[in-house]
Chain A
């Protein structure tokens, strides 16, 4: 069955430290993966998608099919990065998303 796993419920780092939010998936086909972010009191918004291979707000994520992972990384965390981060997988051609349980990132000053 298709599944997205985010093993860390909470990740706390100091400002300027590197951060890596883990995401593993299981999917029988060719996956399309996303990271969504939800800042405090704001709606869920797309951060990045693997097919774009882009860097948004200093974040990058590489799809590793061998390890079935799509970890989100940033070399130097900022306080404004504090938020809930959700990894998601798009299922089939219909477009509905399968989400992980989310990781709360807290960046301390």
Chain B
């Protein structure tokens, strides 16, 4: 089991471009969480998804950010019209079920907006 995979590991975008971050959960896991870590900060929850459903997006900015977890393929976090403040590390975690199960983290995607 390769664990949670994220790609790309590093992404550079210019202001106004779109960023797409991908997360493949561990085999057998159907729950995905996205977190963002700004410099010198802890990880902050953004969104929680199950296959084809957004369960909780309370931590995600209302504009420019969206997330999906289709029936087939990875979960995608999409940031439209990026701004410099979006520069951060974005981590994905997966679990087999919600609630009491351990979350396993991916290596993160480091987004730099120029």
Q: List chain A positions with a Cβ less than 8 A from chain B.
A: 4, 6, 36, 43-46, 49, 86, 91, 93-102
Contacts and interface: CB of A to CB of B under 8 A. Distances in A.
Contacts of B56: 94, 96
24 contacts: A43-B4, A43-B107, A43-B108, A44-B91, A44-B105, A45-B104, A46-B102, A86-B43, A93-B98, A94-B48, A94-B56, A94-B99, A95-B48, A95-B95, A95-B100, A95-B101, A96-B33, A96-B48, A97-B33, A97-B35, A98-B45, A99-B35, A101-B40, A101-B41
A6 B42 CA distance: 10
B103 interface: yes
Contacts of B101: 95
Interface string B1-37: 0011000000000000000000000000001010100
Interface in B47-74: 48, 55-56, 59
Contacts of B3: 43
Interface string B73-114: 000000000000000000100010011111111111000000
Interface of B: 3-4, 31, 33, 35, 40-45, 48, 55-56, 59, 91, 95, 98-108
Nearest to A9: B40
